[in-house]
C-alpha cells in the first residue's frame, strides 16, 4: 500500500522547504524536495559595481552572511589579482569561523534538539530542575494561550519516541538556553572584527579593513575560550548522548554517499587550508576540479540553459514551466549528485589525513560508539561531524587570534578592472559555497552563486537523478504516517537553509 505525505512547511529549517514522500509498505519509496520561493540576488547584481557584491550577497542569509561575503571577496581577489596580507587572511578566517560556530550551535540546539528532547517529561517533572523553572513556566503559560502557535518552537510537533532519560532531557534543555548565550558570544566575536552582525562591514577585496589592537585580540580570546568550553563540555557531550540514545539513526538517511568539499580557512598563501578541498566518491578520495561543476534546471522553475558551468550560468525565472517542481537548481559535480556540508568536510579530511586533530576526534568517536566510518553517512553521523569540526575550528580560532599583529594593515589597495572574472570557492557552515563573477565595463555582467543548500536540497537533474536529501529519504521507515518524525529527522540532519538555496 502506498500513500503520499506532504510535509509543508518543514519547520525549524531556515526558509521555505516542502517535502513530499511516497510511503510504500511502511518506508519512503520516493521523495521530492521543493524550494518554494525565488529571490533573485544574482539578477540584482547585474549592472552594479562589483564592490556591492560582498554587501548585497551577505543579504542572501542572516545565518551565513559572512560566508557569502567571503566567497564574494575571494572572487574579486581573483578578478583584481589581489593577495591579502596575513592579518587580512586571519581576520577573514576568524569572522568566518565565528559564523560557523554560531551556526552549528544554532543547528543542534535550536533547530534539531527538539526532535529528540521529551518536552512533556520535563514539563511534568516536579523535582529540582536546575534552572529550567522559568522556561517551564513560560511553556505552561503559553499552553493556555489562544495564540495560533501556542508554544513554538517547542510544541506542536510530531508524536514520537523521545529521549528516555529525564536527566538527559533536562540537561539538553538547559544547554538549549546556554546555546543562545554561546551564539551571542560567537556573533560578538565576529562583530569585533566585522563591525556589526549580521552582514559584516569590514570584508573587502584584498583583505579586511579592521586594523586590530591588543584590546580587540584580548576580547576575542575571552569570547573564543568561552565558546571552546561550551563546545567541549556541552555541545559534543550532548551530541554523543543523543547518538547513543538513537543508534538506529546511524542507519537512516544514508544518502548519495558522494561528498564534495571546496575547502576553507586558508593557512597561508600557498593553498593550504585548515579543512582542505576534495571529493569522496565510493569512499575513495579524488582531487576536486571546479571545472566539472554544472547546474541543471530541467525540474526547476527556470527557462535559462541547463547543465551550464556557473561561469556561463544564467538565472531566468519561469514560474509556469511545465514539469518543474522547485525553485532550487540541481548542481552536479562531473554529472554526479554530491552531498556537501560538515560530513563531507570531515570525511574528505579523514580520507586525506589532512588534519590530525580531526582524525583523532573521529577515531575516538567511532571507537566510543563501536561503529565503522561508513556509518557516519547517516542522520547521527551528520550531527556528530558538525560537532567535531566545530571543536577543530574553535580551537584553531584561538591560534589565529594569537597570530594577529596589532596595527598591521589587513588589506591591500586595488583598482577595479574594466573587465575580468573570478571565482570564490569557500565553505559555509552548510557546505561548499561558490560565487562566480564576471565584470564588463567596470560593472557586474554576470554573477552566479552555487550554494550549499542548493546542492543538498536539489531536485532531480536532467538525467532524472534525485538530489541528496531526496536520496537520503528513500528507504526511511515511517512508523506512523500521521507523525513522519523519521523523515524530518533525516531532512534536518542536513541543516537546510532554503533562503540560501534559492538566493
Ligand atoms: Ni542560509 Fe548558507 C550556510 C550558505 S546554506 S545558511 O551555511 O551559503 O546554503
Ligand atoms: Mg545560483
Q: Tell which one of 260, 393, 429 to mutate to probe ligand 1, the residue whose CB is within 8 A of the most ligand atoms.
A: 429
Atom of ligand 1 nearest to the CA of 103: 7
Q: Tell which one of 430, 434, 448, 455 to mutate to probe ligand 1, the residue whose CB is within 8 A of the most ligand atoms.
A: 430
Q: How far is CA 125 from CA 115, 129, 215, in A?
A: 19, 8, 46
For the CA of 106, the nearest ligand: 1
pLDDT 10s digits, 116-148: 999 888 888 887 777 788 888 877 777 766 665
Give me ligand 1 centre to Cα 493, in Å. 14
Collapsing DSSP to helix, strand or coil, 85 comes out as coil
Q: Tell which one of 264, 451, 455 to mutate to probe ligand 1, the residue whose CB is within 8 A of the most ligand atoms.
A: 451
State which residues have CB under 5 angstroms from ligand 2, the bound ion.
Answer: 449
Q: Which residues line ligand 1 (CB under 6 A)?
A: 14, 61, 63-64, 67-68, 103, 428-430, 433, 451-453, 497, 499-501
For the CA of 316, the nearest ligand: 2
DSSP codes of every residue in 133-158: HHHHHHHHHHHT--SSSTBTTTBS--
pLDDT 10s digits, 377-397: 999 999 999 999 999 999 999
Q: Which three cell numbers stand for residue 255?
A: 544518502
pLDDT 10s digits, 461-493: 999 999 999 999 999 999 999 999 999 999 999
CA separation for the pair 457, 345 (Å, rounded): 18
Query: pLDDT at position 310, please?
Result: 98
pLDDT above 60 (res 167): yes
Residue partners of 401: CB distance under 8 A and separation at least 6: 94, 217, 220, 221, 224
Give me ligand 2 centre to Cα 503, in Å. 7
CA separation for the pair 344, 278 (Å, rounded): 9
Max Cα-Cα span within the chain: 70
Total residues belonging to the chain: 503
Q: Tell which one of 453, 469, 494 to mutate to probe ligand 1, the residue whose CB is within 8 A of the most ligand atoms.
A: 453
Atom of ligand 1 nearest to the CA of 499: 1
Which segments of 126-227 are extended strands (E)? 203-204, 207-208
For the segment 445-449, the average pLDDT, to the nearest whole number, is: 98
For the CA of 42, the nearest ligand: 2
pTM of the full predicted structure? 0.96
pLDDT 10s digits, 341-351: 999 999 999 99
Cross-strand partners of 294: 332
Residue partners of 145: CB distance under 8 A and separation at least 6: none
Give me ligand 1 centre to Cα 104, in Å. 11
Atom of ligand 1 nearest to the CA of 428: 7
Residues 301, 423, 377, 16, Cα dihedral to 10°: -30
Give me ligand 1 centre to Cα 260, in Å. 15
Give me ligand 2 centre to Cα 221, in Å. 37
pLDDT 10s digits, 252-299: 999 999 999 999 999 999 999 999 999 999 999 999 999 999 999 999
Give me ligand 1 centre to Cα 16, in Å. 14
Contact 261, 275 (CB under 8 A): yes
Q: How many CA atoms lie within 13 A of 203 on its CB side?
A: 33
For the segment 152-171, the average pLDDT, to the nearest whole number, is: 87
Query: pLDDT at position 148, please?
Result: 54
Amino acid at each position: 500500500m502506498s500513500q503520499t505525505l506532504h510535509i509543508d512547511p518543514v519547520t525549524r529549517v531556515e526558509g521555505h522547504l516542502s517535502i513530499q514522500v511516497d510511503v510504500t509498505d511502511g518506508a519512503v519509496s520516493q521523495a521530492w524536495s521543493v524550494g518554494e520561493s525565488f529571490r533573485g540576488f544574482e539578477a540584482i547584481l547585474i549592472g552594479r559595481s562589483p564592490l556591492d557584491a560582498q554587501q548585497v550577497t551577505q543579504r542572501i542569509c542572516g545565518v551565513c552572511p559572512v560566508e557569502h561575503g567571503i566567497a564574494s571577496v575571494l572572487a574579486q581577489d581573483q578578478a583584481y589579482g589581489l593577495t591579502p596580507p596575513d592579518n587580512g587572511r586571519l581576520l577573514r578566517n576568524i569572522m568566518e569561523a565565528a559564523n560557523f560556530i554560531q551556526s552549528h550551535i544554532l543547528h543542534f540546539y535550536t533547530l534539531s534538539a527538539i526532535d529528540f528532547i521529551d518536552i512533556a517529561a520535563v514539563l511534568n517533572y516536579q523535582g529540582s530542575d536546575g534552572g529550567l523553572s522559568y522556561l517551564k513556566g513560560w511553556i505552561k503559560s503559553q499552553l493556555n494561550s489562544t495564540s495560533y502557535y501556542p508554544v513554538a518552537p517547542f510544541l506542536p510537533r510530531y508524536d514520537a519516541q523521545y529521549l528516555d532519560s529525564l536527566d538527559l532531557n533536562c540537561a539538553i534543555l538547559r544547554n538549549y538556553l546556554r546555546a543562545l548565550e554561546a551564539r551571542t558570544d560567537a556573533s560578538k566575536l565576529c562583530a569585533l572584527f566585522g563591525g556589526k552582525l549580521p552582514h559584516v562591514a569590514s570584508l573587502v577585496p584584498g583583505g579586511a579593513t579592521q586594523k586590530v589592537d591588543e584590546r580587540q585580540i584580548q576580547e576575542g580570546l575571552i569570547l573564543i575560550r568561552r565558546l571552546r568550553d561550551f563546545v567541549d563540555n556541552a555541545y559534543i557531550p550532548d551530541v554523543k548522548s543523543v547518538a547513543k540514545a538513537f543508534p538506529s539513526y546511524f542507519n537512516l538517511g544514508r544518502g548519495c554517499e558522494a561528498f564534495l568539499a571546496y575547502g576553507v580557512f586558508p593557512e597561508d598563501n600557498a593553498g593550504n587550508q585548515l579543512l582542505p578541498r576534495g571529493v569522496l566518491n565510493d569512499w575513495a578520495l579524488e582531487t576536486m576540479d571546479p571545472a566539472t561543476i554544472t547546474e541543471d534546471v530541467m525540474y526547476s522553475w527556470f527557462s535559462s540553459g541547463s547543465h551550464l558551468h556557473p561561469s556561463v550560468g544564467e538565472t531566468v525565472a519561469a514560474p509556469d514551466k511545465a514539469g518543474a517542481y522547485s525553485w532550487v537548481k540541481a548542481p552536479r559535480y562531473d554529472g554526479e549528485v554530491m552531498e556537501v556540508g560538515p560530513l563531507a568536510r570531515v570525511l574528505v579530511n579523514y580520507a586525506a589525513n589532512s588534519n590530525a586533530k580531526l582524525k583523532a576526534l573521529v577515531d575516538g568517536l567511532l571507537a566510543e560508539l563501536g561503529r565503522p566510518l561508513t556509518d557516519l553517512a547517516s542522520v547521527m553521523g551528520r550531527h556528530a561531524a558538525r560537532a567535531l569540526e566545530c571543536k577543530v575550528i574553535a580551537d584553531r580560532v584561538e591560534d589565529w587570534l594569537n597570530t594577529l599583529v596589532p596595527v598591521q594593515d589587513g588589506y591591500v589597495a586595488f583598482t577595479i578592472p574594466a573587465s575580468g572574472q573570478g571565482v570564490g570557492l569557500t565553505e559555509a557552515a552548510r557546505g561548499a559555497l561558490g560565487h562566480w563573477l564576471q565584470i564588463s565595463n567596470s560593472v557586474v555582467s554576470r554573477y552566479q552563486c552555487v550554494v550549499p543548500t542548493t546542492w543538498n536540497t536539489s531536485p532531480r537533474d536532467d538525467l532524472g537523478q534525485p538530489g541528496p536529501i531526496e536520496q537520503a529519504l528513500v528507504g526511511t521507515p515511517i512508523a506512523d504516517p500521521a507523525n513522519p518524525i523519521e523523515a524530518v529527522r533525516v531532512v534536518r540532519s542536513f541543516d537546510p537553509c532554503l533562503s540560501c538555496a534559492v538566493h
